[in-house]
Amino acid sequence: MTEAVQAVFFDVDDTLYDHLTPFKEAVREVVRPEAGFPYEEAYHLLRYYSDKLSVELGGAGSADYSRGLKRLRTERFQKTLEHFGIPVGKRDAEELQAAYLARQYHIEMFAGARELLRQLVNAGYTVGVITNGPLQHQMNKVAAMRLAEVLPPESIFVSGGVGWDKPDPRIFQHVNEVTGTLPGSSLFVGDSWRNDVVGALEAGWQTIWFNHRNAKPESQHLPHYTASSFKEVERILSRLLP
């Protein structure tokens, strides 16, 4: 039997806002692929390479990551588009990254997300976010979404500032320690199977897999709940929380 939920944390990228749109707009502007280009498939591949290359560099908190970040960001675009038969040189990859980056600082939360966070905070739950990436980059997104209007700064955890990337259970354990919460009564909502579902489960947390991109499970792990829309996330939480 699962414990009563006392803390709810959310992933940021593609969980609180649509992460596909900045990618799609950047590719359209710089590469101009033919009609029918599979943007969503390419987006998933870009995130795969982002995670893979990040691990190779030691994670967002490491010195090697800081030194290799520029290469990571361009190489992931090159590898992704080469998969679809589109060669991309270093200069175009840098232009792609610049366009992608700029659009991530002009984002809006999914409909209902801000209201849900506010309701959870007002109801007395410990509420926050756990996100992978360089500290300042992710905090710029937090600022763009005006999360500080809803969440206290001490409940915003960025892997680049903490020192561990999801799915490393230590980042979830760190959150429990800092917030005074327990793993069994903590719930994580995220879209990434590898980072969010596996990471939270391995740390002993409850999970909602926000699978709005219709992805396939990558392991035998079993999320406690699965949602295909943010409205469904809201419905699940309304049943879980008194």
Q: Where are the beta strands (DSSP E) in 33-191?
A: 126-131, 156-158, 186-190
H/E run at residue 231: helix 230-240
Pair (14, 24) in one structural domain: no
In sequence order, what are the residues at sequence separation of 6 or more whose Cβ sits closer than 8 angstroms to the Cβ of residue 16? 10, 109, 110, 113, 129, 145, 147
Question: Which of 84, 104, 124 delimits the end of a domain?
Answer: 104
d(CA 242, CA 120): 11
- Tens-of-pLDDT digits for all 242 residues of the chain? 578 999 999 999 999 999 999 999 999 999 999 999 999 999 999 999 999 988 888 887 777 887 888 899 999 999 999 999 999 999 999 999 999 999 999 999 999 999 999 999 999 999 999 999 999 999 999 999 999 999 999 999 999 999 999 999 999 999 999 999 999 999 999 999 999 999 999 999 999 999 999 999 999 999 999 999 999 999 999 988 76
For residue 133, tell me if it sits in a domain: yes
Q: Which domain holds residue 208?
A: 7-18+108-240
For residue 226, tell me if it sits in a domain: yes
Pair (71, 117) in one structural domain: no
Task: Give 16's Cβ-side CA count (13 Å radius).
Answer: 26
pTM confidence score? 0.94
Look at the chain and report how many structural domains it folds into. 2
For residue 2, tell me if it sits in a domain: no
